[in-house]
Structure 1
């Protein structure tokens, strides 16, 4: 029997292949991170120490991967893929269904004993990591033109219970057959969100202050609560991203997109991230819903933005130092022309408002209004509660369909929207009492 053992060496993990307790082969795929001309590259070496060229191209030049962290994760996923390919001595393009299933167990770290072989693995991985790795592998296969349908086989599953009861509506969803269910104890819990009453209290507070910063804060909160923007999307807004709405000149259209000049906290999560200014003219960057997204702005937000832009750049009422900071530090790349462009939201010194600065301000507002900050759980905290509140307002107050909410939230997958349709305990009680009362009326 052949035994495959996961082993540790000075340079990392490798796999020893044994026959009758004699090592006959060593599979050692190395993932290396190397800097060149101030850029970091990730590459894989096969067991013979040769760079795997297609992997190098995919990791470092694919538009899917934009940060060094994402490149390293891709390197980890492909390291496992190529390790398994060498272990079973088969080209990836020739993997059959059993090979893909066995690769799945290999990624999870499941030690399996078969008729002719036994795997003794030490590293275990979560279902979520497993799915991320397979997603990377599928993208790699697409990038390199490797046609193997066994990696892409899908099954149809259903997700029910869109209303307060499971029979209300059923939505059919498909998933990759090899993907695993990602269980989470928070899976069926609606995330913390700003309720409409809390939102109104915050806006009333800011309206009373009547300062430039309170106007800025009101715009930011309205963009997140009334239009569902993420904080990074808000902080990355520049002058040229705001357009007049052709159907109503009082309203506006906001373009959400990334720039090379953006800081990490100014990034739009679901838009393409350009690596150089030259990409501003490419088809990918200018493709709607991939390179950029648009959001309609109602007249009140459009007017507030116009007022803030004018007041925050009123040179006659600004110090020389603050004016210099605005002109030097708040400059943003122009992606449309050669005109000067600036980030919209500023801190007290005239530099672009950062996420740290905004969070500090928001904590003060929450504390004044009496909203629990929940410092022990950052996942449910602060700015993203407004976006969650936008979704819940559409559902609970407006009675909008899941498809409508998905579009407004700009979710790529409807499964991301489903979480908002899980009722809270008090809502279940309210519905139960309502049904009970209706039943009694019919009996009378």
Structure 2
């Protein structure tokens, strides 16, 4: 029986196929390189072979798509060509015999088949696998490969809208069901958010063992509902006190995108910056289109200002740290604020802008120390988003926000989309039921 194992290699996750004393390694890489203001992507095989179909698809067909969609396609195609090399086949020869093997390969984990055993570090959820299968369907259509296994249908599903009395089966949308897709199990009672008690425990730990940086970042996510990308993308000119607003006690943050931003510094809902020419776009300079305003307390502003003073004073930095700060922490200045140079606020230990991956590792360690469960196989990015969910649930549970108010503070354009943030636990539902019972009795004068 052959055995396939996954390991962490130079180019990311790689594979070994072992048959007796014979070892075969597959090291397919997803390559990215920025040139002339564009991020090029491609898949490169084990022996340095460039799969040019992926190059054309990722950079031409998907060239105008957002980073997330292109990066998802890159990850999916890296896995596809890893499978092709492991099983010594070609893309146009994938058939029904590959269906089960390929899905098992994508799911990861450990398993034993009729002829092959798998031992993978990575475990993927069904919805992640289905996202990859969707990429393959579009890629095969682009290649003109008809009748492929990814397109095989198993029926039609009707999707009925919600939230309106006019929705009915007659108005349902018909979508194709694909035989390779896995069933996605959605539970209704899952603790997807940070409770206030958990937030207090996290902040106590941070006060004891971490720095002002961690305290401020977590505070902005939980108390103001900021996404992690919006926090990491903040620059000096985005932190504005009452000397800028000209209103006593009014302090604010400005969320916006810049050409100098990395993918993990993206402000969702604000204009994407393709080139510096976008700065003169009318939308970029319009609230709600190019930027968003977050009002913060004077106390929070002072905390941020204290952190900035600590990290930017040349007297408290080594020569190397100060050089890194000056040369490797450069953000485009897009406002008329009177500052010598603009720079990102939150820094790594090397005094360069902290990267998303580095922050995620810090967050994971904090969660583990407090004892908050981390699901195996889930991206640590989700840990950050639990704070935004916690912000929303606090508004609902403790401040009585309805959908309209919640959509406003969450910066959503309509009320339908905020329902995703309502994820009560069983204890929450018990409290709701108790409150409803009291209201009913009051109304009936019981």
TM tier relative to shorter chain? 0.5 to 0.7
Match of 1:244? Answer: 241
1:159 is the counterpart of 2:160: no
Match of 2:374? Answer: 373
Asked if the contact 1:334/1:340 (under 8 Å) is kept, the reply is yes
Match of 1:359? Answer: 360
Asked if the contact 1:240/1:341 (under 8 Å) is kept, the reply is yes
Q: Tell me the secondary structure at the aligned position of residue 159 of structure 1.
A: coil
Distance 1:290 1:434 in 2: 40
Asked if the contact 2:367/2:374 (under 8 Å) is kept, the reply is yes
Match of 2:270? Answer: 271
Match of 2:217? Answer: 220
List per-residue Cα deviations over 1:83-106 (Å, max 9, x = no partner): xxxxxxxxxxxxxxxxxxxxxxxx
Distance 2:71 2:375 in 1: 33
C-alpha change, 1:178 and 1:432, in structure 2 (3 Å) is closer
C-alpha change, 1:40 and 1:394, in structure 2 (3 Å) is closer
Asked if the contact 1:188/1:419 (under 8 Å) is kept, the reply is no
1:405 is the counterpart of 2:406: yes
Q: Displacement, 1:406?
A: 1.0
Q: Displacement, 1:363?
A: 2.2
Distance 1:333 1:368 in 2: 37
1:336 is the counterpart of 2:335: yes
List per-residue Cα deviations over 1:313-355 (Å, max 9, x = no partner): 1211211111111111111111125941000011111111111
Distance 2:37 2:439 in 1: 70
Match of 1:103? Answer: none
Q: Displacement, 1:123?
A: 4.2
Match of 2:151? Answer: 124
Q: Displacement, 1:430?
A: 3.5
Q: Displacement, 1:244?
A: 2.4
C-alpha change, 1:186 and 1:271, in structure 2 (3 Å) is farther
Q: Tell me the secondary structure at the aligned position of residue 295 of structure 1.
A: strand
Distance 1:406 1:125 in 2: 40
Q: Tell me the secondary structure at the aligned position of residue 367 of structure 2.
A: helix
1:427 is the counterpart of 2:435: no
Q: Displacement, 1:180?
A: 5.6
Asked if the contact 2:188/2:423 (under 8 Å) is kept, the reply is yes
Q: Displacement, 1:275?
A: 1.2
Q: Displacement, 1:271?
A: 1.6
Q: Tell me the secondary structure at the aligned position of residue 211 of structure 2.
A: helix
Q: Displacement, 1:37?
A: 6.3
Distance 2:152 2:328 in 1: 44
Q: Displacement, 1:185?
A: 3.4
Number of aligned residue pairs: give it: 317
Match of 1:349? Answer: 350
Q: Tell me the secondary structure at the aligned position of residue 296 of structure 1.
A: strand
Distance 2:223 2:72 in 1: 37
C-alpha change, 1:415 and 1:190, in structure 2 (3 Å) is farther
Distance 1:233 1:239 in 2: 14
List per-residue Cα deviations over 1:10-34 (Å, max 9, x = no partner): xxxxxxxxxxxxxxxxxxxxxxxxx
List per-residue Cα deviations over 1:282-339 (Å, max 9, x = no partner): 1122222122111111112101011111111121121111111111111111112594
RMSD over aligned CA atoms reads 4.5
1:186 is the counterpart of 2:183: no
Match of 2:294? Answer: 295
Match of 1:255? Answer: 254
Match of 1:205? Answer: 205
Distance 2:375 2:300 in 1: 29
Q: Tell me the secondary structure at the aligned position of residue 327 of structure 1.
A: helix
Gaps of 5+ in 2: 1-33, 42-58, 74-134, 138-145, 178-182
Q: Displacement, 1:364?
A: 2.4
Of the two, which has the highest radius of gyration?
A: 1
Match of 1:17? Answer: none
C-alpha change, 1:405 and 1:191, in structure 2 (3 Å) is farther
Q: Displacement, 1:421?
A: 3.5
Q: Tell me the secondary structure at the aligned position of residue 348 of structure 1.
A: coil
Distance 2:379 2:291 in 1: 28
Match of 2:279? Answer: 280
Using structure 1 for the length normalisation, give the TM-score.
0.59
Distance 2:435 2:72 in 1: 54
Q: Displacement, 1:407?
A: 1.3
Gaps of 5+ in 1: 1-34, 43-55, 74-106, 110-118, 131-154, 161-169
Distance 1:181 1:409 in 2: 33
Q: Tell me the secondary structure at the aligned position of residue 253 of structure 1.
A: strand
Q: Tell me the secondary structure at the aligned position of residue 322 of structure 1.
A: helix
C-alpha change, 1:341 and 1:360, in structure 2 (3 Å) is same
Q: Displacement, 1:41?
A: 8.8
Q: Displacement, 1:438?
A: 8.2
Q: Which moved more, 1:349-358 or 1:359-368?
A: 359-368
Distance 1:281 1:428 in 2: 50
Using structure 2 for the length normalisation, give the TM-score.
0.59
Asked if the contact 1:250/1:302 (under 8 Å) is kept, the reply is no
C-alpha change, 1:222 and 1:71, in structure 2 (3 Å) is closer
Query: Alignment partner for residue 235 of structure 1, among 232, 237, 251?
Result: 232
